[in-house]
Amino acid sequence: MYDIVCGMKLGDKPTFKGLHKRKTYCFCTKDCQSEFKKNPKKFIEGTPVVELKNVYKEFDLGRVKVPVLHDLSLKIWEGDFVALMGVSGSGKSTAMNIMGLLDDVTKGKVYIDGKETSKMGSNELAGLRNEKIGFVFQQFNLLGALNCRDNISLPFFFKKKSSKLEQNGNLDKLINNVGLKDRVEHKPLEMSGGEQQRAAIARALVDEPELVIADEPTGNLDSKTGKMIMDEFRKLNDKGKTLIVVTHDSNIANAAKRVLHLKDGRLISNHNNHKK
């Protein structure tokens, strides 16, 4: 039995239930129950952007196999802004890599827009990842030899076609939107941490992905700059982007619409951030 909203696997006797057209649905929390009541058609007939179903992941270290994810099930919907939380070792980074098609599962199923990824070859997976997903990493991962503009443009240097943004003449607009108009010729070492992270965000958006996944995007920034970066994420979400932010910082999670908590490789809670 699964929560139709967040995808969490439920126990035998769920506390929260709802009736729609004579069918009973079960939920992990009142938040999911409330979301379902607002738009039952979305959750009954719609398709999540990402869905994990009974996912297990273990790493083979030779003589030892280390289990990381245990029967993990969850759903991410279009327009979601989700914070994936948990202490170090909870499995959140592994879950992120699997949702981003950077790693495979030991057991279970992964769906992107309703398509099961285990049936895809490596080339199809790479194509889906390149077209669908943008990544923002804690370490920025900018190339020191390239200036800001070239770092932002880097994803489509590896493709046979120019980016959608370049085709539409919107690359400069993207650079302006992240506040780097006057820094385009500067190299990473000539930029502050906040500027480098904004360049990394722009790079993630350069091919207009539907889903943006960020791994501890403010982990190397001071609190003021971190707040500015999260403001950028809120703006992206307001424009319809689906965001997944991996973090252990509750202050960062408060910026999200929904918070998923992992513990020992399992999803243990889902709740909405109720804005005033």
Closest CA to 260 of 26, 2, 32: 32
Predicted local distance difference test score (pLDDT) of residue 276: 42
Give φ, ψ of 111 to 5 degrees: -120, 135
Distance separating alpha carbons of residues 156 and 161, to the nearest angstrom: 7
**For residue 116, pLDDT beyond 80:** yes
Q: Are residues 86 and 40 in the same domain?
A: no
Q: What is the total count of domains within the chain?
A: 2
With beta carbons less than 8 A apart as the criterion, state whether 29 and 10 touch: no
Per residue in 31-60, pLDDT (tens digit) is 999 999 999 999 999 999 999 999 999 998
Residue with the bigger pLDDT between 202 and 156: it is 202
pTM above 0.75, yes or no: yes
Would 41 be classed as within a structural domain? yes
CB atoms within 10 A of CB 105: 20
Would 99 be classed as within a structural domain? yes
Q: What is the 3-state secondary structure (H, E, C) of 87-105?
A: CCCCCHHHHHHHHCCCCCC
Distance separating alpha carbons of residues 233 and 261, to the nearest angstrom: 20
Would 68 be classed as within a structural domain? no
Q: Are residues 136 and 6 in the same domain?
A: no
Would 252 be classed as within a structural domain? yes
Q: Are residues 151 and 214 in the same domain?
A: yes
Q: Are residues 161 and 249 in the same domain?
A: yes
What average pLDDT does this structure show over 257-266? 92
Helix (H) or strand (E) holding 52: strand 50-60
Would 266 be classed as within a structural domain? yes
**For residue 245, pLDDT beyond 80:** yes
First to last CA, the chain: 33
**For residue 159, pLDDT beyond 70:** no
Q: Are residues 84 and 42 in the same domain?
A: no
Would 52 be classed as within a structural domain? no
Q: Are residues 38 and 83 in the same domain?
A: no
**For residue 115, pLDDT beyond 50:** yes
Residue 69 forms beta bridges with which residues? 57
With beta carbons less than 8 A apart as the criterion, state whether 31 and 272 touch: yes
Determine the structural domain holding residue 220 and report its residue range: 79-104+122-272
Would 114 be classed as within a structural domain? no
Per residue in 89-107, pLDDT (tens digit) is 899 999 999 999 999 999 9
Predicted local distance difference test score (pLDDT) of residue 220: 75
Q: Are residues 90 and 206 in the same domain?
A: yes
With beta carbons less than 8 A apart as the criterion, state whether 111 and 48 touch: yes
What average pLDDT does this structure show over 169-193? 87
Q: Are residues 8 and 95 in the same domain?
A: no
Helices (H), the chain: 30-38, 40-45, 92-99, 122-132, 148-157, 164-167, 171-177, 193-205, 223-238, 250-253
Distance separating alpha carbons of residues 53 and 69, to the nearest angstrom: 12
Q: Where residue 89 sits, what CATH number does that domain have?
A: 3.40.50.300
Going from the C-alpha of 239 to that of each of 8, 27, 130, 194, the distances in angstroms are 27, 29, 20, 22
Q: Are residues 87 and 147 in the same domain?
A: yes
DSSP state for residue 183 in the 8-state scheme: G
Would 208 be classed as within a structural domain? yes
